[in-house]
Structure 1
Amino acid sequence: MLSIASRIDRLPHTPMLWKILFLAGIGWLFDAMDQGMVSGVMAAIGKDWVLTTGQLGLLGSSGMAGMALGAALAGIAADKWGRRIVIMWTLIIYGVASFLSGFSVNYPMLLVLRFLTGLGLGGELPAASTLVSEFSPTKVRGRNVILLESFWAWGWIAAALVAYLLIPVYGWRMAFWVGAVPALFAAYFRRAVPESPRYLESVGKTEEADALVSIMEQQAGITHKLASVTSEGQKLVNNVQVSFMDLWSKKYRRSTIVLWVIWFGINFGYYGFVLWTPTLLVGKGFALVKSFEFTLIMCLAQLPGYFSAAYLVERIGRKLLLSVYFAGTAVAAWLFGHAGSTNEVLIFGCLLYFFSLGAWGCVYAYTPEVYPTVARASGSGWAAAFGRVGAFTAPFIVPVVYNYYGKQAGYTYVFIMLTAVFALVSLVVLLFGKETMGKSLEEISEGEKSPAVA
């Protein structure tokens, strides 16, 4: 008889999996919408409240600090209490805090609410990607997680539309309200998302896991009985909890280092340009409304970036795809920083969004694959948390570089710095990353059990 994992891996793409992917993706969309609107809000609120670039940087970083803490705590919680409960409550926290942000009466109040918004957003993303990864058969696992991440593009496009159409007319507060209310509805509908069968099996709830997999098997026209798992060794694994220090043991160290470099680099580079693009374009002489229009056009390039990555991830593998897309992002960042005309801004900006969001999709696909089930959410959460340190520092460092060299030269030097970051990450993945394509989650982590049971 087959185990839960083996039964999942032999399934086709069932209706239950499509439902999970869609419901998880809707929450992802509103998370992205919030992050996308921050760039428009920063440009608009800077004029409304007459804020310095340093204050604007702190506004962007406050949300990132919340995301760092949220990712770490949610990862631990998801390994302890389950993936499902975490993705529900983190979306609620995000929606409520985002809605209240629209009522901020002063700068300190907005900072606190942006931190709480980030707390929910940062916790939701690694837990949701882990859930989708664990529900997916091996042959479509990477593609499914990238499709989940592609909802980020739709959220960012919606945010760009809000910034372009509503903020200039109704002000920045409207942006928070428009995004928050649908997010709370999405949290309500997520009650229909079941728990991960792999997680249920890992904590000894084999009957619940069997029931879920049986439903998917019935949808696929397959029947099979659950393998009996009663050995003493399996019971010990089921009761294991992986600590932060375990992630740095010999068995996990390489995976942890590579993931932390990837997450720090992509967060620093990505948030170094997306949060500041409208403001930097205004500094180059474009009107605020025009900068929103440019951002909207560039956001459309995210979709082919995601879909190309989803197509290639199961054909050329995670390692090569990550390395190529990070290298492409580095080249695009260099070109965007040296853009001298409107057409060049749009063309190179589209390339920057294409490669960077394709890389993001593959990062989310790759991250949950390198740890076993008992450490998957916490390992992913800590990697995401460290990555948010990069996202936290970028909004501070970008204005320092920008102001030091002046508006024209500073724009170029900001993107030279980001080019170096993306190029370094590409090299690290190429040299030290490990390939996970075509392997079951259990096969990838074979020989990497928790030190407590090794």
Structure 2
Amino acid sequence: MAPYFIKNLVPRRGNTDNSGVIPALASLTWVQWAQFWSGWLAWTCDALDFFSVSLTVTNLAVQFGKSSQKITTAITLTLLFRSAGAVIFGILSDRFGRKWPLVINLIICCVLELGTGFVQTFPQFLAVRSLFGIAMGGIWGLSSSNALENIPVELRGLASGILQQGYAVGYLLAAVINLTIVAHHTWRALFYFGACISFFAAIVRALVPESEVFIKAKELEKAKGANTTTKTKVFIHETKEMLKIHWKLCIYAVLLMTGFNFLSHGSQDLYPTYLETTKGFSSHDATIATIIGNCGAIAGGAIAGWGSQYIGRRLTIIICVLLVGAFIPLWIIPSSFSALSAGAFWIQFGVQGAWGVIPIQLAEMSPPAFRATFPGVAYQIGNMVSSASAQIEATAGSHIKTTIIENGQPKVVNDYATVQGILIGVVAAYVIIVTIVGPENHSSHFEKHKAAFEEGGGHDDAFMDDEQVGRPRSIREVEDEKAFSA
């Protein structure tokens, strides 16, 4: 077991594709560009709606006559139910393809976002947000598999970072809308806008062709005379085989994603409330600081994703998380807007830099035929475990007090700064340890693997025939496949 977990923290040079980024970008077809950006857009829409609650906690508390701690229950419920959506839509995607499961998923998100804007009571609000959790749970696994399997290996590190920062862009859009439209109208406008964007994303994905991997696999099965019932039986059998072989990997992936989700949600979900309550910022200034933080997130994700193609996935994650630890003091100690905004920028640069590697790290780590189900479920179970992070911070903050000066008078407030600093510090240490002991299959050619509904799809060595791939494999690609199966 030791070699599996500890060897190759920095991948061997022969297993990295980092010399052909520019030629690979130039070789992309419009279909490949469209498939990537449709996945990115779907994830951006998802994040926009999720953070709409975080940004309007104060408004929602007034609307429903509840405390901020009670409102964060909606965030917890959304995170809890995401794992169910990951299982449902992940299975549909690995069985039937990337296109229509994602389109249906986005339309459901649209309906539930619209429903959030129309709720009148707190129980209705919690019910809709719980259902939205199921819909949201399916988006990430489908988006990442759809985006990454259709582009060259040389671009997957960079693409991973850009894709994941759809999350930060969604947060950024929500913050801008909150700063402009919501400030002059109502919190409901934020969810109406999100519903429109999700519907637009569904239309875009419906117009973009199916993933080439699934087109080829379906054509091959059709030539063999396999029908829907036969393929479903094969899919169920191969799923069982995959679980028998990779149950330890499944546990590891959940442990990894638990740490990552605590890292992101612990640093983001209650951040606007922390600035308003503990630092005495206005809602406007808190939103501006949030926007600055998300600019750091976007930059960090893209840079780290690109860098991981050169120095490896795990080493990039470790460097980014160490950066998070280094900037915790700047994130919580100052009281000025400029210093706290700088802290937010660098904290999110590190957090989302590490996250920028996750889509490709999970895709390369996954059983190849289950690239939607495995990463999506691991991601969302980790979300489920970390779902109470906002409530943990809110509850702890209500028991730890600090004093600020407001209008020349001392005021006792909840000390969210200390709570967040302790939580993020502990989680950062945990993520580093789990990352070090984990596997890495840098630059694996998972797109050459059989689909989950093909016989042998549950095994790592079940690659498609050269004729099915559509071009001859180089010696290097064969070596990569051997290294992957080993």
Q: TM-score, normalised by structure 2?
A: 0.78
Runs of 4+ in 1 over 6 A off after TM superposition: 235-238, 242-245, 442-445, 451-454
| 1:193 CA drift (Å) | 2.6
The residue aligned with 1:413 is: 419
Residue type at the aligned position of 2:429: A
Unaligned segments of structure 1, at least 5 residues: 1-9, 209-227
Give yes or no for the alignment of 1:273 onto 2:279: no
Instruction: Note if contact 1:126-1:380 (Cα within 8 Å) is conserved in structure 2.
Output: yes
Q: 1:368 aligns with which of 360, 363, 367?
A: 363
1:313 aligned counterpart, secondary structure: helix
Alpha-carbon distance between aligned partners in 1 of 2:266 and 2:251, rounded to the nearest angstrom: 22
| 1:262 CA drift (Å) | 2.0
The residue aligned with 2:258 is: 264
Alpha-carbon distance between aligned partners in 2 of 1:428 and 1:275, rounded to the nearest angstrom: 23
Name the CA shift for 1:178/1:86 in 2 (closer, same or farther; >3 Å). Answer: same
Q: 2:57 aligns with which of 25, 37, 42?
A: 42
Give yes or no for the alignment of 1:397 onto 2:392: yes
Q: 1:437 aligns with which of 442, 467, 472?
A: 442
Name the CA shift for 1:246/1:268 in 2 (closer, same or farther; >3 Å). Answer: farther
| 1:380 CA drift (Å) | 1.5
Deviation string, structure 1 residues 137-174 (Cα, Å, up to 9, x no partner): 22222322322223333222211111111222212111
User: What pairs with 1:97-112 in structure 2 (closer than 5 Å)?
Assistant: 97-112=112-127
| 1:243 CA drift (Å) | 7.3
User: What pairs with 1:8-407 in structure 2 (closer than 5 Å)?
Assistant: 12-202=27-217, 204-206=218-220, 239-241=234-236, 249=244, 251-284=245-278, 285-406=280-401, 407=413
Residue type at the aligned position of 1:434: P
The residue aligned with 1:450 is: 458
2:388 aligned counterpart, secondary structure: helix
Residue type at the aligned position of 2:219: K
Deviation string, structure 1 residues 387-420 (Cα, Å, up to 9, x no partner): 2213422122111211121245442123211221
Name the CA shift for 1:255/1:345 in 2 (closer, same or farther; >3 Å). Answer: same
Name the CA shift for 1:93/1:333 in 2 (closer, same or farther; >3 Å). Answer: farther
| 1:96 CA drift (Å) | 1.0
Residue type at the aligned position of 1:179: G
Name the CA shift for 1:244/1:268 in 2 (closer, same or farther; >3 Å). Answer: farther
Deviation string, structure 1 residues 113-137 (Cα, Å, up to 9, x no partner): 1122222222011111012222122
| 1:372 CA drift (Å) | 3.2
Name the CA shift for 1:449/1:419 in 2 (closer, same or farther; >3 Å). Answer: farther
Moved more, 98-107 or 398-407: 398-407
Instruction: Note if contact 2:266-2:423 (Cα within 8 Å) is conserved in structure 1.
Output: no
Alpha-carbon distance between aligned partners in 1 of 2:448 and 2:441, rounded to the nearest angstrom: 9
Deviation string, structure 1 residues 349-387 (Cα, Å, up to 9, x no partner): 111111111222211121122223332222112202212
Instruction: Note if contact 2:91-2:372 (Cα within 8 Å) is conserved in structure 1.
Output: yes
1:195 aligned counterpart, secondary structure: coil
> Percent of counterpart pairs with the same letter?
23
Residue type at the aligned position of 2:308: V
Name the CA shift for 1:39/1:262 in 2 (closer, same or farther; >3 Å). Answer: same
| 1:333 CA drift (Å) | 3.7
Name the CA shift for 1:320/1:449 in 2 (closer, same or farther; >3 Å). Answer: farther
Unaligned segments of structure 2, at least 5 residues: 1-22, 402-412, 451-455, 463-486
Instruction: Note if contact 1:199-1:373 (Cα within 8 Å) is conserved in structure 2.
Output: no
| 1:81 CA drift (Å) | 1.9
